[in-house]
Amino acid sequence: MRAITGEKGDIRKEVTMKSVPRLIRRFISILFLSIFFLLLLNFLLLYFMTKDQTSSRSPYATAQEAARGLIRDGENCALGQDFQEMLREENAWAVFIDNDTHRVIWHTEDLPEDIPMEYSLSEIADLTLGYVRDYPTYVGDGDNGIMVLGYPRDRYWKSMWPTWDYDFIANLPWNILTVMLLNLLSFLILYMVANTGLLKSVNPIVKGIQTLPTGEPVYVREKGVLSELAASINHTSEMLQMQQRQLRRKETARANWIAGVSHDIRTPLSMVMGYAGQLAGDLRLPEEEQKKAQVIVRQSARMKNLINDLNLASKLEYNMQPLARGRENAVALVRQVAVDFINMDIDRRFQIEWTAEESLRACMVDGDRDLLMRAVSNLIQNSINHNEQGCRIYVGVWQEEGSCVIRVEDDGKGASDAQIEKLNHTPHYMVCDTNTTEQRHGLGLLIVRQIAASHGGTVRIGRSSYGGLSVEIVLPADS
């Protein structure tokens, strides 16, 4: 029983350990997928938002073209019709500054009035970089002069910021990578912080659900997002516990009832057995009467065994008989049972012989001494009960590949193959409600089976080489 519980516990642990990392893996892949889609979305948005701007003519290019389009003939300048059209479309004005005089020698007609007509070198440097009277300006290189295009004040925003460090631009790929990695890291940290909280509230619930089938009481704290779930787990556990208690109570009541009945039968049976025993040994009585008394003794002994069996069987059936395990020598234990039977000497018709090899002095098993002795004595008693004409009973212990085999055989009438087959495969009689008439043959063996099973062993029933029945209890040897 203990072994089974332990196994269950291990499985549960394994499940928990498997499902949580799986959950984490899933969360992380979702995270990476969302980051990927987010980036894609951003790039797309950026593309669509800037598409219109880049599709229009660059002001630098326009200035350059306008500069080339200006035809200069001494003091007179003229701009081609299509260039003028272009400037009108852009809503831009233009001036042409002579290289030598720094004066405006040509301008468009819509030139704002506040635009100066003469420029110093520093003013030219300013307008090349930025603005003239807040009009964003762009410069093109023309025939011995420069063409300056001025756009409406709200048309462009010009960056006049000092440029980047050379190293920064040179290492741009690395810098971008670093930034991306830092982003990723912060994402992960944020994610972990957010999810640990969630996992913390999920874990007790998972554990609770996994504990439910083991039958142990479960209580999950009803707090947080999943409190309703926790409450229903607790409720389920309470119901299971209640059912278990009721079942246990019923089983206990039944076992107690059997114990009570067998207790009450013992005292009257003592008197039957005691007086019959006295009469059986009373030499003053005629032989015939002594024999009758012997029959009463034998039959009351059978009743005694039956009571003991019934009581123990019900206790073993409902797991109410705790095993008092210890390291026991099966050879000594079986020998003691055989000797007890011979010493009791109820009936001379039954001879008990020891068949184990003399070289086998010990065969250690981990078991409950009283229960194992009980099993062996049940087997010997079984041979006695089923061979009223008398028989020889052969008892021995063998060692067999990590097992300890206790064998009880007889040369009595034995059983047919069909009966043996049935004995080997019939389940517990206690739970079988049909064919109850067969219980009187099966109870003794049932207990032997129960005892063997509670020690992790088995029972083999077969035909003996001596002619009768052979029953073996195979127990795991304790090396």
Partner 1 sequence: MDITYLKEKRILIVDDEQELLDMVVSILKEDGFRNIRTASSVKDALETAGTFRPELAILDVMLPDGSGFSLMERLKAQADYPILFLTARGEADDRLRGLGLGADDYMVKPFLPQELIFRVTAILRRSYKGEEPLVRLQGSMIDFSRGEVVKGGEHIPLTAKEHALLSALCRNAGRIVTIDALCEAAWGDNPYGYENSLMAHIRRIREKIEVCPSQPISLVTVKGLGYKLMVER
Give the separation between CA 324 and CA 308, rounded to whole angstroms. 18
393 binds partner 1 (CB under 8 A): no
Q: Least distance to partner 1 from the beta carbon of 256, Å? A: 12
Query: Please, which residues have CB within 8 angstroms of residue 197's CB and are 6 or more apart in sequence?
Result: none
Interaction of residue 384 with partner 1, rule CB under 8 A: no
Contact call for residue 326 and partner 1 (CB under 8 A): no
Residue 167 C-alpha from the chain's centroid:
54
Pick from 10, 14, 264, 388 the residue near partner 1 by CB under 8 A. 264
Q: Distance between CA atoms of 70 and 255, rounded to whole angstroms?
A: 118
CB of 303 to partner 1, least distance (A): 8
Report, in Å, the least distance between residue 329 CB and partner 1: 7
The DSSP letter of residue 348 is T
Assigned token pair, 285: 């009585």
Rule CB under 8 A: choose which of 1, 283, 344, 431 binds partner 1: 344
DSSP secondary structure of 252-279: HHHHHHHHHHHHHHHHHHHHHHHHHHHH
Please identify, using beta-carbon distances, which residue of 301 and 446 lies nearer to partner 1. 301
Least distance in angstroms from the C-beta of 336 to partner 1: 5
Residue 304 interacts with partner 1 (CB under 8 A): yes or no:
yes
- Binding status of residue 256 toward partner 1 by CB under 8 A: no
Comparing CB distances to partner 1, the nearer of 110 and 264 is 264
Looking at 346, 386, 467, 476, which residue binds partner 1 (CB under 8 A)? 346
CA dihedral 422, 367, 320, 263 (to 10 degrees): 80
Instruction: Say how far apart CA 130 and CA 118 lie, in whole Å.
Output: 17
3-state secondary structure of 150: strand
**Minimum distance of partner 1 from residue 314's CB (angstroms):** 12
Name, in order, each residue with C-beta under 8 angstroms of 43's C-beta and a sequence gap of 6 or more.
none
Q: Does 270 engage in binding with partner 1 (CB under 8 A)?
A: yes
Q: For strand 93-98 and strand 104-107, is the pairing parallel, antiparallel, or unpaired?
A: antiparallel
Instruction: Give the CA count within 13 Å in the CB-facing half-sphere of 408.
Output: 24
Question: Does residue number 479 form part of the binding site for partner 1 (CB under 8 A)?
Answer: no
Q: Is 355 in the site for partner 1 (CB under 8 A)?
A: yes
Task: Using DSSP bridges, classify how beta strands 469-476 and 403-410 pair: parallel, antiparallel or unpaired.
Answer: antiparallel
Q: Is 297 in the site for partner 1 (CB under 8 A)?
A: yes
Only segment of 7-15, 44-52, 272-280, 414-422 that touches partner 1 (CB under 8 A): 272-280
Which CB atom, from 149 or from 395, has the smaller least distance to partner 1? 395
Cβ atoms 468, 409 nearer than 8 A:
yes
Residue ranges binding partner 1 (CB under 8 A): 259, 262-264, 266-267, 269-275, 277-278, 281, 297, 300-301, 304, 308, 311, 321, 324, 329, 331-332, 335-336, 338-339, 342-344, 346, 353-356, 358, 361-362, 370
